[in-house]
């Protein structure tokens, strides 16, 4: 009897240890898939951990929420609302903002927004910030990061509760192309040096624009691109991609899905980090060979999005241009570039 018992104890112990080992392995596998470790160039061996948590994968709606019944047979038919790789294309009428906001409220997300106001572009900052406070993720925690060389010309704007504004100093430049393109490097560094664990999503926006309508949780996704308002009805042969094979932004004839804006993009912090880092490196490697892509970082972004498909695409409602008449499929203009006199505001 005693013999049987000790055998049984050994078997039970063995099984317990095995189960324990299995559990530990499983735990590490899961946490590895949600957590990325980055080695930054500057900090050498120091690693930055940014937790993905489950921000973008598990959509839990609060119990008891009442909202209009979604239809599976009726919806917008005048526009395409899904890409060939099955990413949603966000148009007015394709989402329920009450439902989406409730889902993301539960996640307690923080959204960061970067905006550059270098040189005379500082004049656009006040309207940008005031309208952003009203329309951009209203009711959510938003951290705005302003990059400027004119620190004492940054306007005082009262932000709603839970929203912050941080100003960062950047050098001036005599070339607008450089100001525009250096944004990728500064976005990459901002993410590496500042965000770590406390920011979930980031959007990078042009300052020479204003919000006119809601831009909120419907825009959240892994990698988010905005369709450029100038080319969305055109054949891709007309898209102003970089066409010289020597450039790292090259897109060959017959390639390319859409033409995306350089003036607005975003997504999960780690996705935007990857994008910014890649575009920056490609831009700098091009420069070493004396090449500057046709539309600077916009060209590199378009090349990146061709290879790395955005998981959510925002319609031109999300970056229109004031000089352009609204097309009938655009039911609502949410964000739009103001009319500007290039000769007056750009340094070259």
Catalytic residues: 298
**In 137-191, where do the E strands start and end?**
141-148, 163-169
Question: How many Cα atoms are found within 13 Å in the side-chain-facing hemisphere of 99?
Answer: 10
Closest separation between CB of residue 322 and Mn ion, Å?
11
Residue from 221, 262, 263, 267 touching Mn ion (CB under 5 A): that is 263
| CA 348, chain centre distance (Å) | 29
Binders of Mn ion among residues 175 to 214 (CB under 5 A) are 206, 208
Question: What is the DSSP code string of 218-238?
Answer: GG--SEEEEE-TTTTTS-GGG
Q: Please give the backbone phi and psi of residue 113, each rounded to the nearest 5 degrees, phi first.
A: -130, 130
Q: How many chain residues touch Mn ion (CB under 5 A)? A: 3
Q: How many chain residues touch ligand UDP (CB under 6 A)? A: 15
Query: Is residue 118 near ligand UDP by the rule CB under 6 A?
Result: yes
Q: Which does 119 bind (CB under 5 to 8 A by kind): Mn ion, ligand UDP, none?
A: ligand UDP
Residue from 119, 221, 267, 310 touching ligand UDP (CB under 6 A): that is 119
Binders of ligand UDP among residues 242 to 281 (CB under 6 A) are 263
How far, in Å, CA of 188 to CA of 273, rounded?
5
Closest separation between CB of residue 177 and ligand UDP, Å?
8
How far, in Å, CA of 130 to CA of 259, rounded?
29
Closest separation between CB of residue 339 and ligand UDP, Å?
10
Map tokens 């008449």 to a residue: 325
Residue nearest to ligand UDP (CB): 206
How far, in Å, CA of 280 to CA of 204, rounded?
14
How far, in Å, CA of 281 to CA of 276, rounded?
8
Closest separation between CB of residue 77 and ligand UDP, Å?
32
Residue from 121, 211, 239, 260 touching ligand UDP (CB under 6 A): that is 121
C-alpha closest to that of 57 among 175, 278, 221, 174: 221
Q: Which is nearer to Mn ion, 205 or 272 (CB)?
A: 205
Binders of ligand UDP among residues 189 to 228 (CB under 6 A) are 206-208
- Binding positions for ligand UDP, rule: CB under 6 A: 116-119, 121, 176, 179-180, 206-208, 263, 337, 346-347
């Amino acid at each position: 009897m005693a013999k049987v018992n000790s055998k049984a104890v050994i078997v039970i112990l063995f099984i317990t240890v095995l189960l324990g080992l299995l559990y530990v392995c499983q735990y590490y596998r899961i946490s590895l898939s949600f957590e990325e470790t980055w080695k930054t160039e500057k900090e050498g061996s120091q690693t930055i951990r940014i937790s993905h948590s489950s921000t973008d994968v598990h959509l839990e709606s609060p119990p008891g929420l009442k909202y209009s019944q979604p239809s599976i047979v009726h919806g917008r038919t005048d526009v395409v609302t899904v890409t060939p790789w099955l990413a949603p294309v966000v148009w007015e009428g394709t989402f329920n903002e009450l439902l989406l906001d409730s889902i993301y409220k539960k996640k307690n997300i923080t959204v960061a927004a970067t905006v550059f106001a270098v040189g005379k572009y500082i004049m656009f900052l006040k309207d940008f910030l005031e309208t952003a406070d009203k329309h951009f993720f209203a009711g959510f925690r938003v951290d705005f990061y302003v990059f400027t060389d004119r620190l004492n010309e940054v306007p005082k704007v009262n932000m709603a509760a839970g929203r912050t504004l941080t100003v960062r100093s950047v050098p001036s430049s005599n070339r607008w192309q450089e100001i525009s393109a250096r944004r990728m490097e500064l976005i990459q560094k901002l993410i590496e040096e500042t965000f770590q664990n406390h920011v979930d999503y980031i959007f990078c926006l042009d300052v020479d624009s204003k919000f006119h309508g809601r831009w909120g949780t419907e825009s959240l996704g892994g990698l988010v691109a905005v369709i450029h308002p100038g080319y969305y009805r055109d054949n891709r042969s007309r898209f102003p991609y970089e066409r010289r094979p020597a450039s790292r932004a090259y897109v060959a004839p017959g390639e390319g899905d859409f033409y995306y804006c350089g003036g607005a993009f975003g997504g999960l912090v780690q996705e935007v980090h990857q994008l910014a880092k890649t575009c920056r490196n490609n831009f700098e490697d091009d420069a070493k060979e004396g090449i500057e892509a046709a539309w600077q970082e916009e060209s590199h972004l378009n090349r990146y999005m061709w290879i790395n498909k955005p998981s959510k695409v925002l319609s031109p409602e999300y970056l229109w241009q004031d000089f352009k008449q609204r097309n009938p499929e655009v039911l609502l203009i949410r964000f739009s570039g103001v009319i500007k006199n290039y000769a007056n505001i750009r340094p070259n």
